[in-house]
Amino acid sequence: MSEGVPGKDRNLIAGWHDAPARASERRETRRRALILAAGRAFGRRGFHNTTLDDIAAQLSVTKPMLYRYVRNKHEILYECHRIAVGMAEEAYEEALRQVESPLERIRRFSEGYITRMTSELGTCVVLTEYYSMTPEHNELIERRRRVLDAGLRQLVQQAVDAGEIEPCDPKLAVFFFMGAINNINRWFTEGGPLAGEEIAVVFSNHIINGLRPTREGARPGREASGA
């Protein structure tokens, strides 16, 4: 996104005011920038607490301009959710492609998903507020989420069957770690102390190893034996 384009960049939000040449191409870029700005605001302050005027101001234009790029406010929210599931699906398929072991696939998925979610585009994403979508949009997103969920549960089940992990309820297991992951946007801030990849690795480890009790599980009488 941030090319070596000379001079301009009059705005914080990338890609709006530097018009990339040809019409239809610019249109796409701007639409993207709009979704990004809106998504961030939605994530931080919520869908209904963010007005179109706010978003427009972010891009230093006025509200009616936005309607050149999106049909209405709900479409923006829908796009955000599409990006979000899209990233999860991508990570899932990538994981299937890259490794064989079910457990390792889960790790890859988690890492890939988190990495995407904390990327520039990802930070725009809203995982909460699915209830603010129109029923039609919600249905579309839900459907995709359900498919993904089923895939993940299957992975967990396979990991159990392969003896890689102890038996557990796949449904709850998936709820568990997806909950942890989907909550990241609540506290993550781009440019904060934590890099996305860092979080991805740490979280994935927690998913698989938990708080990772030490073998001898020191007695309640505590006694640190060599870290």
Partner DNA sequence: CAAGGGTGTTACTCAAGAGTAACACCTCAT
Partner DNA sequence: ATGAGGTGTTACTCTTGAGTAACACCCTTG
Grouping H, G, I as helix, E, B as strand and the rest as coil, residue 50 is coil
- How far is 80 from 84, CA to CA, in rounded Å? 6
- Interface of this chain with a second copy, residues 148 to 167, rule: CB under 8 A: 156, 159-167
Subset of residues 14 to 33 that bind DNA, contact rule: CB under 7 A: 17, 19, 23, 26-27
Cα 8 to Cα 15, 23, 30, 84, distances in angstroms? 10, 19, 15, 30
Nearest to a second copy of 17, 206 (CB atom): 206
Residue 12 touches which member of a second copy, DNA, none, C-beta under 5-8 Å by kind: none
DSSP string for residues in 42-65: HHHH-STTS-HHHHHHHTTS-HHH
Interaction between residue 51 and DNA (CB under 7 A): yes
Residue 227: how many other CB atoms lie within 10 Å: 4
Q: Which of 20, 46, 67, 218 binds DNA (CB under 7 A)?
A: 67
Is residue 80 at the binding interface for DNA, with CB under 7 A as the rule? no
| 80 binding a second copy? (CB under 8 A) | no
Answer yes or no: are the C-beta atoms of 99 and 144 closer than 8 Å.
no
CB of 69 to DNA, least distance (A): 9
Pick 72 or 214: Cβ nearer DNA: 72
Using the structure block, give the residue that is written with the tokens 């209904």.
48
Q: Which does 98 bind (CB under 5 to 8 A by kind): DNA, a second copy, none?
A: none
Report CA-CA distances (Å) from 173 to 64, 178, 227.
46, 8, 29
Q: Which residues bind DNA (CB under 7 A)?
A: 1, 3-4, 17, 19, 23, 26-27, 48, 50-53, 56, 60-65, 67-68, 72-74
